């Protein structure tokens, strides 16, 4: 892993993608052309094309490939951002937009091809875009760089929403429940998730 990190950093330095001491990346919107942001843009474009192919063919292999690209790219851009000190507020929002794009395409596909799951899928989409997005962006008014820094503002909010375990539950377990469980159970799970997010938003009172 150390050798891989050195190779990535060296390549980024050659292309000028590593911030210099006099031009720190954190919090500066003028440092948009970073390797991490390029990975975010690339994985979004490629996964969107693959989702389009899956929509056309109805092939689950294409759908799985699209999801795989989105997930692997999400892990990679975060790793590169931390490795090269390319974390920024723009990058955090850009990454969130890319994640929501993938989620929206996935659940739209499932709604189209499995209409019996439509209520659960659409309920989850509403929660993801209208409640989870505002909650995820609440780091902005607090002057933080990303959701991962919420432990500096509110440890409880970070622990239940943005810690590694919480992200695993919100990003994998809940969507899996909505997609795989009977529609009634999936809908109830999405509604409970939405109510919890409303509570956290009101509790923080960021807006």
On the question of pLDDT at 9 being above 50, the answer is: yes
Q: Which residues contact 22 (CB under 8 A, 6 or more apart)?
A: none
Each residue of 29-77: pLDDT tens digit?
446 789 999 999 999 999 999 999 999 999 999 999 999 999 999 999 9
Say yes or no to pLDDT of 172 above 70.
yes
User: What is the rounded distance in angstroms from the CA atom of residue 116 to the CA atom of residue 22?
Assistant: 56
Q: Is the pTM of this model over 0.75?
A: yes
Residue 73 near residue 47 (C-beta atoms within 8 A): yes
Q: Are 31 and 88 in contact (CB under 8 A)?
A: yes
| Residue 153's pLDDT band (cuts 50, 70, 90) | confident
Mean pLDDT of the region 175-201: 95
| pLDDT over 50 (residue 164) | yes
pLDDT in tens, 116-138: 999 999 999 999 999 999 999 99
Q: Give the model's pLDDT for residue 205.
A: 74
DSSP assigned state of 147 = G
Residues 94, 77: Cα–Cα separation, whole Å: 11
Highest-pLDDT range among 80-89, 137-146, 193-202: 193-202
Cβ within 8 Å of residue 73, ≥6 positions away = 39, 40, 42, 43, 44, 46, 47, 98
């Amino acid at each position: 892993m150390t050798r891989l990190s050195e190779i990535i950093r060296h390549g980024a330095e050659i292309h000028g993608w590593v911030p210099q001491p006099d031009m720190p990346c954190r919090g500066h919107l003028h440092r948009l052309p970073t390797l991490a942001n390029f990975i975010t843009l690339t994985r979004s474009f490629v996964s969107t094309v693959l989702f389009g192919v899956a929509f056309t063919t109805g092939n689950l292999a294409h759908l799985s490939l699209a999801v795989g690209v989105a997930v692997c790219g999400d892990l990679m851009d975060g790793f590169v951002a931390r490795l090269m000190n390319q974390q920024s507020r723009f990058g955090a929002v850009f990454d969130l937009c890319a994640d929501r794009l993938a989620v929206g395409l996935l659940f739209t596909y499932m709604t189209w091809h499995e209409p019996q799951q439509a209520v659960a899928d659409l309920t989850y989409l509403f929660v993801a875009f209208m409640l989870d997005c505002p909650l995820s962006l609440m780091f902005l008014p607090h002057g933080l760089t990303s959701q991962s820094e919420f432990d500096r503002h509110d440890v409880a909010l970070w622990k239940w929403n943005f810690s590694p375990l919480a992200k695993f539950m919100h990003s994998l377990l809940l969507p899996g429940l909505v997609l795989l469980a009977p529609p009634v159970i999936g809908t109830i799970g999405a509604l409970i998730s939405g109510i919890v997010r409303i509570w956290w938003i009101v509790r923080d009172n960021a807006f």
